[in-house]
Amino acid sequence: MRTQIGIVGAGPAGLLLSHLLHLQGIESVVLEARSRKHIEERVRAGVLEQGTVDLLVDSGVGTRLKHEGLIHHGIELRFNRCGHRINLHELTGGKAITIYAQHEVVKDLVAARLEAGGKIIFDASDVSVHGFDGASPASPATIRFRSEGEVEELHCDYIAGCDGARSVVRKAIGADRSRIARELHDGVVQTLFAVAFRLQLHADEVPKALRTTIQQTTAGIREAINDIQAYVHGLEPSLVMLGGLAASLKQLAVEFESSSGMPVTVELEPNAVAALDGVATDIVQIVREALSNVRRHAQARRVCSRAVSEHL
């Protein structure tokens, strides 16, 4: 199966994106883990701001919204047994909010997409995304999923992750960010460290005229290392944020064991993990560097990573 944009998630975001792409002549396919009945009947709150209402109406899916939506021009705050009216309509130059449940928006968008011949695959399970980093032009971005018991693949130019807080796409991007950070740290940074060390080691052996140049070069390399480490640090928090410190350390162990062949034991006392939670990113970085050093320099046959409260 082939399309231009593969969209994971048939909520308001995914469906509206597919609808807007269609209006621009861009093909898309939407994958949804739930049934059509489920997403159209699951009651969700719906307070739509003016910009959202305008977009739905202007794009041709606001007919029911205009007839059934409840417009509110302001709110009332009550304290000390008194009501205080805040007229949002006047304060914002005529804007208002509209009460129209989210699942009603979904109904309108599903109907619009299907009426226009759009493809929405409901009950898609085991969804996974691949090749979205563009590393190989010969391998397009692919969404793999199971539909009606059969494994299928959707090849596309781009993948849009619109599948909410437990996003399959978000997790895949987080894993890719972790891989990039690891490769930068274990490869580029270590190489630069070695170059700077060798230059510094032999600085006294060269003519005095060149020593200043070597010192400046070494300083430049260290500055580059700091920049890369800052970039790596910015890539890594997502790993910790998604599963916490314990999950991150266990994932590091799994990755190291898979790539090195050395068995890794992780021993984590709950009290120790809780005490280290505030510096979780730093701990993950330290353990990652330690494992990298084990791989490069130690002649170990097994590795044990422990966090115990007696060491704190």
CA–CA distance, 36 with 119 (Å, rounded to integer): 13
CA–CA distance, 220 with 207 (Å, rounded to integer): 20
CB 3 within 8 A of CB 151: no
CA–CA distance, 181 with 235 (Å, rounded to integer): 6
Cβ-in-10-Å burial (0-12, 13-18, 19+) of 76 comes to exposed
- Enumerate domains of the chain plus CATH numbers: 1-46+103-164 (3.50.50.60), 47-100 (no CATH), 171-311 (no CATH)
Q: Tokens 């320099």 — which residue?
A: 297
CB 124 within 8 A of CB 103: no
CA–CA distance, 33 with 176 (Å, rounded to integer): 23
Distances in Å between the Cα of 106 and the Cα atoms of 41, 42, 67, 308 are: 9, 10, 16, 50
Q: Tokens 């590393």 — which residue?
A: 135
Per-residue pLDDT at 237: 46
CA–CA distance, 176 with 211 (Å, rounded to integer): 41
Question: Residue 116 phi/psi, 5° resolution?
Answer: -85, 5
Span 146-191, pLDDT tens digits: 998 899 999 999 999 998 767 788 777 766 666 677 777 777 888 8
Per-residue pLDDT at 39: 93
Q: Please report how many Cα atoms fall inside a 13 Å half-sphere around the Cα of residue 152, on the Cβ side.
A: 13
CB 248 within 8 A of CB 240: yes
Per-residue pLDDT at 233: 62
Q: How confident is the model at residue 36 (pLDDT cuts 50, 70, 90)?
A: very high
Span 262-295, pLDDT tens digits: 899 988 888 887 878 777 777 887 888 888 888 8
Span 58-102, pLDDT tens digits: 999 999 999 999 999 998 999 888 999 999 899 999 999 999 999
Per-residue pLDDT at 286: 84
Please provide the average confidence, as pLDDT, over all residues in the chain.
85
Q: How confident is the model at residue 241 (pLDDT cuts 50, 70, 90)?
A: very low
CA angle 16, 17, 18 (to 5 degrees): 90
Structure tokens at 54: 């305008």
Span 199-211, pLDDT tens digits: 888 888 888 878 8
CA–CA distance, 109 with 55 (Å, rounded to integer): 12
Give yes or no for residue 49 having a pLDDT over 70.
Answer: yes
Distance of CA 46 to the CA centre of its chain: 25
Q: Angle of helix 12-23 relative to helix 102-115, nearest 10 degrees?
A: 30
- Please measure the distance between the N-terminal and C-terminal CA atoms of the chain and give it in whole angstroms: 55
Which amino acid is residue 82, in one-letter code? C
